[in-house]
Structure 1
Amino acid sequence: MSTDRTYASPPCLAAEVDPAYSDPSADAADDVARWRRDTRAQLRTARDALRVTERDTISHALQAHLRTLLTQRFGSVRGRIISFYWPIKAEPDLRPLMATLHQEGAVIALPLVEQKATPLVFRHWTPETRMQRGDWNIPVPPPEADRLTPAITLAPLVGWDDDGYRLGYGGGYFDRTLAAVSPRPFTIGIGYQAARLTTIHPQPHDIPLDLILTEAGIATERTASQ
């Protein structure tokens, strides 16, 4: 296998999708949008190709790493509001840990789109919650579930880079939410190690996450000075 690639991992075929990947001119907004669209498609195709057993192994590893991280950084989860996500499109499935932390006294929230092009809303979830279909047909808590402000938020990743920037699905909802929520939650990106990119070509609206976690453990973390 050649080692002169300009991308970070085999599934990340950015340089072959778009030659502008390594060209500074790609920072023009229209070029970045095109590059992100193509890279997102490549990463999702690679993710969809994983066998169920591979996804399960990755999800189990991520749950173990996340459990350790929460314990070491925050101690007891009792009473702490943590926003998870409901997995779609071959995302890592953390729902078993979500239920376990609920049993241990954490207050679990799930994000949902209640109005297009506005920040996400976080609503309370328990194993007894009667879910309904939300945006993209994602199961979400009903409108009568309490609205919460999380202290810790998990953000699913399509791709990520070492500066903590996230490549999502293109709707801008997490960036919009992080810009609006006060106080800002500690935000942990959850993704596959193979989805590491050299850069996502961050734009002014992109907000870096505090930490990115993959099946290999903590992949990157921003310091207070950053």
Structure 2
Amino acid sequence: MNADDDGKSRGYASPACSMHEIDPAYMGLTAPAPSKEWITEWRRGKRQRLIEERSSLVDQTQRDSLTAALIARLDTVVTDVAGKRVSLYWPFKGEPDLRGWMASVNAAGGTCLLPVVTAKGQPLTFRAWKQGEKLERGVWNILFPANGPEQIPDIVIAPLVGFDHDCYRLGYGGGFFDRTLAHLGRAPLVIGVGFSQQAIATIHPLPHDIPMDVIVTDSEVRYRETTLRPSPNI
């Protein structure tokens, strides 16, 4: 610091350090990782926006076209369902409607399963179902098989709210799919399905998040880097 002739201080000779105003990446530093609380809040907002955007696809011709393109790509991943147990879902909040594809799985000798929420904080169970069998309404008013036997899936097809380039899935926030996949005794092939507009840069994955093996949309099939592409008989 400098002083006037009368000995009184008149401030710094040069400006104070302003490193705190500079992007850490510019300084060669690593930005702090976002907190779990920040990620939870960020996901809440991102989830709402993505659901609204998906639900805005009100033109049925456009929706049917996108869904048909998705199914065509799904058929290149799941090419032989005979004897396989395939978990799907009942469409909800603008999700791609794969009920027609479910019927084709049954016709080809596969068994379709629908997930059932048994309790908050618990893994999903899966019950067999085919067209014409009784359904009941459960959590979020979603239909599930009333009487189908419980089975373990060979293939799990999970609807996406959002997804990133590392095949992590943004869901509805209940953690049911992650909890279920961690609970299953043997790992099924896990396929996330959604529309291409649901892609985001990252979901900011947390330790409990389990990536999909494959993401299928109306415009691409994206395999996770560590996933071996399935044989034609998967």
Q: Which runs of 5+ in 1 are unaligned?
A: 1-22
* Aligned twin of 2:214: 211
Structure 1 length as normaliser, TM-score?
0.84
**CA distance change for structure 1 residues 147 and 47 in 2, over 3 Å: closer, same or farther?**
same
CA drift of 1:68 comes to 2.1
Match of 2:55 among 30, 48, 73: 48
> What SS does structure 2 have at the residue aligned with 1:123?
strand
CA drift of 1:129 comes to 1.2
Which one has a bigger Cα radius of gyration?
2
How big is each residue's C-alpha offset from its partner over 1:94-131, in whole Å with a ceiling of 9 and x where there is no partner?
11010011011101101110122100000001112111
**CA distance change for structure 1 residues 48 and 224 in 2, over 3 Å: closer, same or farther?**
closer
Match of 2:175 among 172, 182, 192: 172
How is 1:59-78 mapped onto 2 (pairs within 5 angstroms)? Answer: 59-71=67-79, 76-78=80-82
Residue 152 of structure 2 is aligned to residue 149 of structure 1: yes
How big is each residue's C-alpha offset from its partner over 1:25-66, in whole Å with a ceiling of 9 and x where there is no partner?
462001001100011111111111112222111111111111
Tell me if structure 1 keeps the 8 A contact 2:114–2:129. Answer: yes
Tell me if structure 2 keeps the 8 A contact 1:162–1:220. Answer: no
* Aligned twin of 1:190: 193
Tell me if structure 1 keeps the 8 A contact 2:167–2:222. Answer: no
* Aligned twin of 1:114: 118
> What SS does structure 1 have at the residue aligned with 2:78?
helix
Paired amino acid for 2:98: L
Q: Which is further off, 81-90 or 49-58? A: 49-58
Counterpart Cα distance in 2 of 1:120 and 1:222 = 27
Q: Which runs of 5+ in 2 are unaligned?
A: 1-29, 229-234
> Number of paired residues?
198
**CA distance change for structure 1 residues 45 and 81 in 2, over 3 Å: closer, same or farther?**
same
Q: How large is the Cα RMSD of the aligned pairs?
A: 1.5
Structure 2 length as normaliser, TM-score?
0.81
